[in-house]
Structure 1
Amino acid sequence: MKEHPLILVADDEPQMVGVISYGLQNAGFEVVMAYDGREALQQVEKCRPDLVILDVEMPALDGFAVCQKVRTATTIPVLLLTVRDEQEEIIKGLELGADDYMTKPFSIRELTLRVQAILRRTHNSDQHSVDIQPLHIDFDRRRVTLHDLPVELSPLEYRLLVCLVSNAGRVLTWQALLKEVWELEIWQGDKEMVKIEIYRLRQKLEPNPSDPIFIHTERGVGYYFEKINK
């Protein structure tokens, strides 16, 4: 994880944005602000924050719409803020890909702890290795082994594996993978590119590629790497 992760705070109440931003900055985060849904999406594209905090009720585009767009096209985690502690609203946000939610009012201390927890779960850049027998990944040496035997991966295959592992347990859409791994916009590639590379990676890593235990398919949505118990 970066020393000073960048957090996007989006809320149509300037006072709320100010209070949250001040608290996060005191906790060592860098902050960028937005005051409606469209501006939030523009800041995501421009700044590529490490995490997005979205108020559900915003003008232009509401938090649900922004969350869906962010999670479709990127791997950036999302924390939703809502004034209504209603189960249906919470479930809707989680189904759209939000990583967590908080109900207003809340303490800035709790918000900061939630942000830190999400970043720990979704960023493994400070992790030196992953060991899920019989697969072992050494990030420092860029070395992958299966049953203690080296696995030769192309640079693209390795980047795809790192992206999936860094988001273990989270479903990533093909659009998000195209953006993060290939560094292409949606119109510059297609679903088939990702599908083929997933197939190749499974052929090299899975003991039985037709019944994968590491890289799973969420039908109609995308792919995810088996959740890693830390």
Structure 2
Amino acid sequence: MRRVVVHREHHVADRIGWLRAAVLGANDGIVSTASLILGVAAAGAPSGAIVVAGIAGLVAGAMSMAAGEYVSVSAQADTETAELDRERHELVEDPVGELAELAGIYVERGVDPDTAATVAAQLMAKDALRAHARDELAITVGAGARPVQAALASAASFIVGAAMPVLIVFVASRSSLIVAVAGGSLVVLALLGGIGAKTGGANIWRGVVRVTFWGAFAMAATAAIGRLVGTAV
């Protein structure tokens, strides 16, 4: 009797979706909010205006992330639903053709025609829609996009990231504000890049350098523009 081996391995790809969303949200929160604060501070604005700018940036950014993610994931969910409805209709109208189509997919992947036909027939006998969704449409039935969940997760991760530079504004003196916000933000960005890379199984230093460089570039550019505008007005 042939022994059946149950696949129990856990791969990085299993968590890449939520990891990407969390890292993107927190990174965006830090970079955009810190850059906004530095731009306003470099323009010579008083402490009160800098606090208002930071808080407004946090709230606006979180709402923007939530709205953007909701719209994006909703569109994905609508597309997946339409594709599954069409596939369900085709399975009813032409089951023989759909069987041949599924077998053809396996042949293209390297399975011999006889085995491919047998596997396709067995999978369709168990759950035809699931088999076609997975192997023809690359959709996992039951694991579809969740717009509200994605929106809340993106907003939450943005707030967590944006809260750090805003908190620094409250504790740092006006004279040391720019250095404190920039330095603190870069340290947290480096930690975030390292954690994201380690969790994703990538090179840690590459992740740290990549995130820190672009964060520093964004903050420096915004501060420079704030200084120019502040001088001009």
Q: Same fold (TM over 0.5)?
A: no
**TM-score normalised by structure 2 residue count:** 0.23
**TM-score normalised by structure 1 residue count:** 0.23
The structure with higher relative contact order (CA 8 Å, sep 6+) is 2
Q: Which is greater in Rg?
A: 2
